[in-house]
């Protein structure tokens, strides 16, 4: 999520190419309407919060159990979280991401947070249902079919349990992570999820620092992932929340950081504007560390293709995507997708661009 920066770049007055003025890009009615639709959300300003150090699973390649953040004390006092969120609201935070390790284990804290800042999202493994009274968007992580989930995540019948808990729930989006080992299972899993009326989006495994296991991508697997993503997007247009430009930037041989740089404090020294100014990544003891603050701490930036990272990195780069109408449409599709994935009640429109556009400069 990075609308904070999106808004910022818009206010900066777009550095447009000589050939295209911004008004020219909006000549087509459906493009203009989409622009008006997405720009209403430029007020979103995000921070993220680790809610628990405990998890009811143990996955190979988990970025949470990497680095220092896993060793903090849990603050289990709902009042302390209410107080923090009240302060966050004053700081201008309008969108919260509640994550690592497993937020469903602390429902009372989730309720306290929701009562203070009602726009946001929870990242969960989906084993334990989060009560209806917590009205955030809910992202359920799926890593392959049940056989692979058992091998990599040590959880039996995981997809079935996730579907039992969240099928038909308007809060839920199932996030399928493409690791090197889970590409061939995506078709089967997407088919099962689509047949249960579940919404699906895609993530690409991004290496935690110091990880060298079997989930790492190669240039060949990234190319394959792109083909599978496009295939699934076209096969299940009602279920899959994704766009052609999503497939391009998340499976590019260069990481998101290499394509676009990164606005999160961890890689952005500026404290005067955008995410560099406002974003914090709180740990379970309510402390935060600017040097580590991004949505996927302890991930290798040179391998960062994570869906959460892209939602900040790509959306914040409006000015890079105004060079011609097709790349602008691609960017709008990306923003439309991220809003549908992250914001409850936002409905994704039909993609405006139905072909591959390369990121500007690549």
Q: List contacts with ligand SF4 (CB under 6 A).
A: 55, 57-59, 62, 64-65, 100-102, 125, 153, 256-257, 262, 264, 266-267, 294-296, 299, 301, 304, 309
Q: In angstroms, rounded to a whole number, what is the distance separating the alpha carbons of residues 277 and 294?
A: 12
Closest approach of ligand SF4 to the CB of residue 301, in Å: 3
Compare residues 115 and 258 and give the one whose CB is closer to ligand SF4.
Answer: 258
Measuring CA to CA, which residue among 220, 333, 309 is closest to residue 258? 309
CB burial class (10 A; 0-12, 13-18, 19+) of residue 166? buried
Per-residue exposure over 11-47, b if at least 16 CB sit within 10 Å of its own CB, e if not = eeeeeeeeeeeeeebbeeeebeebbebbbebbebbbb
Closer CB to ligand SF4, 21 or 58, in the complex: 58
Phi, psi for 345 (deg, rounded to 5): 90, -10
CB of 42 to ligand SF4, least distance (A): 20
Minimum distance from residue 271 beta carbon to ligand SF4 (Å): 15
Q: Which residues on adjacent β-strands are paired with residue 97?
A: 48, 121
Residue 249 DSSP label: H
Token pair of 178 as six digits: 């493409």
221 vs 281, beta carbon nearer ligand SF4: 281
Q: Output the smallest distance, CB 143 to ligand SF4, in A.
A: 8
Give 19's contacts (C-beta < 8 A, 6+ positions apart): 323, 324
* Closest to ligand SF4 by CB, 26 or 267: 267
Please report, for residues 6, 77, 330, the alpha-carbon distance to residue 327 in angstroms, rounded to integers and kept in the order given.
Answer: 16, 47, 5
Question: In this complex, which beta carbon is closest to ligand SF4, that of residue 117 or of residue 267?
Answer: 267
CB of 203 to ligand SF4, least distance (A): 11
**Least distance from ligand SF4 to the Cβ atom of residue 94, Å:** 20
Residue for token digits 């390790």? 101
Whichever of 63 and 328 has its CB closer to ligand SF4, that residue is 63
Tell me the torsion sign for CA atoms 154, 157, 161, 167: positive
What distance in Å separates the CA atoms of residue 120 and residue 99, rounded to the nearest whole number?
Answer: 11
Report in angstroms how near the CB of residue 295 gets to ligand SF4 at its nearest: 6
Q: Would you state the structure tokens that stand for residue 254, as one six-digit string? A: 């260069």
């Amino acid at each position: 999520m990075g609308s904070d920066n999106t808004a910022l770049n818009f206010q900066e007055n777009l550095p447009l190419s000589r050939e295209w003025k911004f008004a020219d890009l909006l000549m087509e009615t459906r493009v203009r309407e989409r622009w008006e639709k997405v720009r209403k959300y430029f007020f979103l300003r995000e921070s993220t919060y680790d809610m628990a150090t405990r998890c009811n699973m143990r996955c190979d390649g988990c970025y949470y159990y990497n680095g220092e953040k896993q060793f903090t004390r849990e603050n289990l006092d709902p009042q302390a979280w209410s107080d923090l969120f009240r302060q966050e609201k004053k700081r201008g935070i309008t969108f919260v991401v509640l994550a690592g390790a497993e937020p469903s284990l602390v429902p009372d804290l989730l309720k306290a947070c929701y009562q203070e800042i009602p726009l946001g999202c929870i990242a969960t493994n989906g084993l334990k249902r989060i009560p209806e009274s917590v009205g955030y968007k809910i992202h359920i992580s799926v890593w392959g079919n049940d056989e692979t989930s058992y091998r990599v995540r040590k959880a039996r019948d995981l997809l079935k349990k996730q579907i039992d808990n969240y099928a038909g729930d308007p809060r839920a989006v199932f996030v399928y992570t493409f690791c090197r080992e889970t590409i061939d299972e995506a078709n089967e899993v997407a088919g099962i999820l689509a047949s249960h009326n579940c919404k699906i989006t895609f993530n690409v495994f991004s290496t935690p620092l110091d990880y060298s296991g079997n989930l790492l991508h190669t240039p060949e697997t990234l190319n394959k992932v792109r083909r599978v993503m496009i295939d699934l997007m076209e096969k299940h247009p009602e279920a899959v929340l994704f766009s052609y430009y999503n497939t391009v930037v998340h499976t590019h041989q260069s990481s998101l950081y290499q394509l676009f740089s990164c606005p999160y404090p961890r890689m952005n020294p500026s404290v005067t504007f955008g995410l560099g100014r406002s974003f914090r990544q709180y740990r379970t003891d309510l402390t935060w560390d600017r040097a580590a603050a991004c949505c996927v701490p302890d991930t290798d930036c040179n391998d960062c293709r994570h869906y959460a990272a892209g939602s900040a990195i790509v959306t914040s780069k409006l000015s890079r995507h105004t060079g011609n109408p097709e790349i602008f449409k691609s960017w709008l599709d990306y923003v439309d997708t991220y809003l549908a994935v992250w914001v409850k009640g936002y409905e994704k429109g039909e993609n405006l661009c139905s072909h591959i556009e390369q990121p500007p400069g690549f």
